[in-house]
């Protein structure tokens, strides 16, 4: 049994759409109000205000601002919990929580009670009533719903993500292991010689985006036509994102079908994207999303993911004799070993080294008992 989330498109009437927007606004107000309260309290007495004090104050805030009663009650409590978690994580070394803005591309809130499945095309939600949904799976297969996140995308579409505990069958073992070298020239090169070509999703729609953005720049700011044009631009960005995520889903699913042990480099995607020359290309290939999907899919289906250190010189080492070629540059696409004379594609050589290091790391962890 694993935790799964099903994201479903919702089709709301005008009243329901307004209700969602009001709920989002109430949750944003609660988050910002109590974050400000905590900051002021800490500046005054140099100690952290407890979550219990904030939760106790929430009913009094609703009395002071009666319009907050329009929001679903558990969504306000969940917002308060999210703020509390974000604030406490700052003292553990994470970034300080930011105040929420109306201008965020995605507005959402989470509820935990009263979510019911009517039939395969309808749900019943607190404050919203019965809503029509569209999806690609059987809703009746969902047993217990833990919570649901309702989101309003920048395209004007409404979605609900249902979190539930589902049974996932492990995939049959194949006895095969693979090392994967990720890159910008080719998306991935496997240690068995398979090459996954890179699709330049952003470049595919660059002209379309530029045309729409030029039109937006000539419009009166915040006019009706301005808002409509922003949605047209958001739809193009949504199309790029959906195609990219679908591409990665297909690759990660096929990897868990074909291999038992998958070895990859633990790349620092957030650090790599700071390179001004390569930031656009790195963002387009989504290394982080690829690693994220592999992590949970290998866990679901009984396969093993081995991550090697990001500083491991997979490209510079010879996969045949282990000799390290210090003078290797990015322009060298063919690896020529100075010691044993091996001539091999640079990415394939790196994938073979990743496989060797990944399987050796697994063997050591088993012997070490960790």
Is there a catalytic annotation at residue 47? no
Active-site position among 119, 265, 284, 326: 265
Task: Report which of 100, 106, 102, 101 is spatially closest to residue 234, judged by C-alpha positions.
Answer: 106
Which token pair is 147?
């919570």
Interstrand relation of 2-11 and 145-152 (parallel, antiparallel or unpaired): unpaired
Which token pair is 358?
């990944």
Is there a catalytic annotation at residue 347? yes
CA dihedral 219, 223, 225, 226 (to 10 degrees): 60
Q: Residue 6 forms beta bridges with which residues?
A: 162
Active-site position among 47, 64, 289, 347: 347
Length of the chain in terms of residues written: 370
Active-site position among 119, 181, 326, 345: 181
Read off the DSSP letter of residue 116. Answer: E
Neighbouring residues of 360: CB distance < 8 A, sequence distance ≥ 6: none
Read off the DSSP letter of residue 133. Answer: E
Is there a catalytic annotation at residue 181? yes
The Cβ-side half-sphere exposure at 203, using a 13 Å CA radius, reads: 8
Task: Report which of 255, 268, 265 is spatially closest to residue 296, judged by C-alpha positions.
Answer: 255
Active site residues: 181, 265, 347
């Amino acid at each position: 049994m694993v935790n799964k989330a099903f994201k479903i498109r919702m089709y709301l009437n005008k009243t329901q759409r307004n209700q969602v927007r009001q709920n989002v606004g109430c949750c944003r107000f609660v988050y910002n109000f109590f974050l400000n309260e905590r900051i002021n309290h800490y500046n005054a007495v140099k100690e952290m205000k407890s979550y219990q004090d904030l939760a106790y104050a929430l009913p009094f805030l609703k009395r002071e601002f009666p319009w907050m009663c329009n929001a679903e009650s558990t969504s306000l409590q969940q917002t308060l919990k999210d703020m509390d978690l974000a604030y406490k994580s700052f003292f553990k070394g994470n970034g300080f929580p930011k105040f929420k803005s109306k201008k965020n591309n995605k507005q959402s809130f989470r509820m935990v009670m009263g979510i019911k499945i009517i039939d395969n095309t309808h749900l019943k939600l607190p404050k919203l009533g019965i809503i029509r949904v569209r999806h690609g799976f059987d809703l009746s297969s969902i047993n217990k719903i833990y919570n649901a996140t309702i989101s309003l995308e920048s395209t004007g579409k409404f979605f609900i993500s249902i979190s539930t505990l589902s049974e996932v069958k492990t995939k049959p073992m194949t006895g095969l292991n693979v090392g994967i070298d990720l890159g910008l020239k080719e998306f991935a090169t496997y240690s068995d010689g398979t090459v996954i070509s890179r699709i330049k999703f952003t470049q595919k729609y660059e002209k379309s985006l530029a045309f729409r953005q030029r039109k937006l720049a000539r419009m009166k700011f915040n006019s009706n036509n301005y808002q409509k044009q922003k949605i047209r631009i958001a739809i193009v960005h949504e199309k790029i994102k959906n195609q990219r995520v679908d591409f990665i889903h297909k690759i990660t699913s096929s990897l868990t079908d074909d291999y038992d042990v998958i070895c990859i480099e633990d790349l620092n995607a957030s650090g790599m994207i700071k390179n001004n020359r390569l930031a656009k290309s790195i963002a387009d290939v989504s290394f982080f999303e690829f690693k994220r999907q592999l992590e949970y899919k290998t866990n679901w289906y009984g396969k093993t993911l081995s991550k090697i250190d990001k500083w491991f010189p997979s490209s510079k080492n010879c996969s045949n004799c282990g000799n390290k070629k210090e003078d290797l540059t990015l322009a060298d696409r063919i690896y020529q070993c100075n010691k044993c004379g091996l001539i091999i594609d640079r990415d394939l050589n790196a994938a073979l080294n990743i496989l060797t290091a990944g399987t050796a790391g697994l063997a050591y962890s088993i012997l070490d008992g960790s």
